[in-house]
Amino acid sequence: MRESGGGGGRRSALHAFVIKELRHIVRDRQTLTILLLLPLAMVVLFGFALRNDINDVRIAIVDASPDAATIALRNRLSGNPRFSIVTVARTTDVVEPLFRRGAADIAVVFPVGFGESLSCGTSTRLLLIGDASDPNTASMMAAYVNAVIASYAADRGVNRQSVQIVPQFRMRYNPTLESVNLFVPGLIALVLMLVTALMTAISLSREKERGTLEILLVSPLRPWQIIVGKVMPYLLLAFANVITALVAAWLVFHVPFRGSVVLLLGSSVLFAMVGLALGVLIAALTSSQRAAMLGAIVVTMLPNTLLSGLIFPISSLPGWLRPVTYLAPARWFIVIARGIMLKGVGMSYLWKEHVVLVVMLLLLFTAAVKSFKARLA
Amino acid sequence: MSAAIDVHEMTRRFGNFTAVDAITFDVQRGEVFGFLGANGAGKTTAIKMLIGLLAPTSGRASVAGFDVATNAESVRRHIGYMSQRFSLYEDLTVRENITLYGGIYGLTDDEIRERGKALIGGLHLERAAGARVASLPLGWKQKLAFSVALLHRPAVVFLDEPTGGVDPITRRQFWEIIYDAAEGGTTILVTTHYLDEAEYCDRISIMVDGRIAAMGTPSEVKGRFGAASLDDVFTELVRPQAVAVAQHA
């Protein structure tokens, strides 16, 4: 790392500080190697799925010709505590937008003349469309709906051997049901949190422990410059990690990428900044490297893996725990990353998640700068 | 011209505890001022207020002509500080540390190069300039830290126990650098636990329980207490408190 700029140029304090931070990172070869290889190792290792139970299945009903039989079956579905019917429409046109918005999990499409075919005893086909961007959840939801339909058929006295209701699954967005597709966005979130929050917390608390932070605070550097200088190199590292994870996912598992790469990278930077601000705040509130490290793991890693939808679908968490997941930044980023990568949607569908992350960033950054200044009071 | 350090009735309370109790003193330009006191007497708290890390509860203080409470920003530009703990980055080389601090204090590249060269030459560190600071012996590290604190030619330098754990020869060399800086017009406020070092100071103050119990040139202070050495003065001043603590326990 050679300083640019010529002769008598007055280098900015921030510039000098960032170069120092980069040197720290480059000098610590072991840590750097681990951090750079981490996304690769994780993407390769986590190529498996996890099974979970689902409690709230949101159903879209498409009923072109309502009759007694379709209404009876609809009532049976809406009467089941696991299900809620979000819409009843005449045509399948409504299904696509609902899925893209994430407002429905599964669609039940009745054929024209459903009741008539059923009473005549002729075969009829009932279509189930699942949103398989989350394959485990989708197939399980389909199985639940299927069970209700089967019990209805049985009650109608339809012979079980000659099945007359034939559910079909048409999986959207992730037609081959690769759970690794689902996992990669989550892994990116995990790696970003690890590199940003944990590493900044450690690096900043090390300065505190060694007494060099005191020297910086006595210098003309302002608190925000110290914070920005501290996190900038880690932002670069985080950026490299996202790209490694994406390339690895694409090369090893052929994970599709349907949306805008630029948008995903931009969103990753935003998410990384939230993690960095969190790391700074943790370092400011703890008094040793060890405490900062534990703090960072407890405050960032745990909620962002367990409460973010990365491992357990949020819909399978108990009701009281679900609001808590709103506090995990990764919960929002995973929705963004899955949306962009697997559904190919853009800002018009994901602006809400971005707003949440921006608000989190502003709050955390303000708190971090404040807690720094509090030491001077 | 006003004093380099001008402190008037400066006080700092933490809850009910008064760490620094209305101290008043001044240090003239180019003076080496020894700031003595037992552990917990309030020295570090007083220094933290003077370098802008802690706001005074009441009273006022100015450093290099700037008020520490209202103009801490300017104070920071004009002071150097070396804490009890080693303040350079061990994983950076000697030269990289110099570049870093030069940059933080807004020196130009030319200034950094020239002053860095002079600094390394003055400490006879030419051979170690590209080595990581971690590989230097402690005495060298301390001298280097002090020289780096002087790099931006501050008006006032605060040295908090700069010679802790350093061998006697290095301590002598260290004091030579202090004198050089003072001769160049730099004001120096230094804390130490070595009372022989206090004899090197132009003037000293001894803090006891947050107050300044004695102040003057080393010989004035000794004369006032009729003591042969500063060691005796120190023991005399600190002992009543020690007895009180013993009775309390």
Of the candidates B103, B148, B90, the one whose C-alpha atom is nearest the C-alpha of residue A221 is: B103
Q: Which one is predicted more confidently, A358 or B248?
A: A358
Whole-prediction pTM: 0.71
Model pLDDT, residue A161: 43
Of the candidates B92, B212, B102, the one whose C-alpha atom is nearest the C-alpha of residue A22 is: B92
Quick one: average pLDDT of A14-18? 87
Question: How close B122 comes to chain A (CA, Å)?
Answer: 23
**Which range has the worst mean pLDDT, A107-121, A124-138, A225-239?**
A124-138
Which residues of chain A have a CB within 8 Å of the CB of B86? 210-211
pLDDT at A54 over 70: no
**Which range has the worst mean pLDDT, A181-185, B50-54, B188-192?**
A181-185
Are the beta carbons of A138 and A175 closer than 8 angstroms? Answer: no
CA–CA separation, A274 and A361 (whole Å): 5
pLDDT at B120 over 90: yes
Give domain status of residue A240, yes or no. Answer: yes
Question: How many residue pairs bridge chain A and chain B with CB atoms within 8 Å of each other?
Answer: 93
Give domain status of residue A308, yes or no. Answer: yes
Which residues of chain A have a CB within 8 Å of the CB of B77? 220
**Which range has the worst mean pLDDT, A224-233, A250-259, B198-207?**
A250-259
Q: Does A374 touch chain B (CB under 8 A)?
A: no
pLDDT at B75 over 70: yes
Q: Does B84 touch chain A (CB under 8 A)?
A: yes
In order of their start, the domains of chain B are 1-78+186-249 (3.40.50.300)
Question: How close B88 comes to chain A (CA, Å)?
Answer: 7
Same domain, A77 and A130: yes
Model pLDDT, residue A52: 46
CB-CB neighbours of A120 under 10 Å? 10
Q: Does A6 touch chain B (CB under 8 A)?
A: yes
Are the beta carbons of A174 and A130 closer than 8 angstroms? Answer: no
Q: Are strands A106-110 and A127-131 parallel, antiparallel or unpaired?
A: antiparallel
Same domain, A235 and A370: yes
Mean pLDDT of chain B: 89
pLDDT at A377 over 50: no
**b/e A287-316 (16+ beta carbons within 10 angstroms → b):** eebebbbebbeebbbebbbbbbbbebbbbe
Give domain status of residue A264, yes or no. Answer: yes
Of the candidates A365, A12, A211, the one whose C-alpha atom is nearest the C-alpha of residue B53 is: A211
Complex-level ipTM: 0.85
**Which range has the worst mean pLDDT, A205-209, A222-226, A250-254?**
A250-254
Beta-carbon separation of A20 and B102 below 8 A: no
Q: Does B83 touch chain A (CB under 8 A)?
A: yes
Boundary of a domain, candidates A142, A172, A202: A172
CA–CA separation, A82 and A55 (whole Å): 5
DSSP A111: P
Count of domains forming chain A: 2
DSSP A328: -
Q: Does A26 touch chain B (CB under 8 A)?
A: no
For residue B55, the chain A residue with the least C-alpha distance is: A377
**Which range has the worst mean pLDDT, A50-54, B210-214, B222-226?**
A50-54
Three-class secondary structure of residue A7 per DSSP: coil
Q: Does B78 touch chain A (CB under 8 A)?
A: no
Q: How confident is the model at residue A39 (pLDDT cuts 50, 70, 90)?
A: confident
Task: Supply the range of the domain harboring residue A88.
Answer: 57-172
Model pLDDT, residue A246: 87
Residue A256: half-sphere exposure toward Cβ, Cα within 13 Å: 16
Beta-carbon separation of B76 and A8 below 8 A: no
Same domain, A232 and A164: no
- B153-162 pLDDT, tens digit per residue, is 999 999 988 8
For residue B14, the chain A residue with the least C-alpha distance is: A377
CA–CA separation, B82 and B91 (whole Å): 18
Rg (CA), chain A: 26
Boundary of a domain, candidates A135, A156, A172: A172
Quick one: average pLDDT of A125-140? 74
Best mutation target, B51, B95, B104, to test chain A (most A CBs within 10 A)? B104
Length of chain B: 249
Quick one: average pLDDT of A178-190? 76
Model pLDDT, residue B249: 44
Beta-carbon separation of A6 and B109 below 8 A: yes
pLDDT at A139 over 70: yes
Q: Are strands B17-27 and B5-14 parallel, antiparallel or unpaired?
A: antiparallel
CA–CA separation, B175 and B34 (whole Å): 12
**Which of B53, B96, B106 has its CB closest to that of A376?**
B53
Same domain, A189 and A326: yes
Quick one: average pLDDT of B176-188? 92
Quick one: average pLDDT of B51-65? 92
Model pLDDT, residue A34: 81
Model pLDDT, residue A4: 42
DSSP assignment of A195-216 = IIIIHHHHHHHHHHHHTHHHHH
Same domain, A204 and A332: yes
Of the candidates A42, A35, A87, the one whose C-alpha atom is nearest the C-alpha of residue A63 is: A87
Give domain status of residue A5, yes or no. Answer: no
Model pLDDT, residue B243: 53
Which residues of chain B have a CB within 8 Å of the CB of A19? 99-100, 103
Length of chain A: 377
Q: Which one is predicted more confidently, A171 or A2?
A: A171
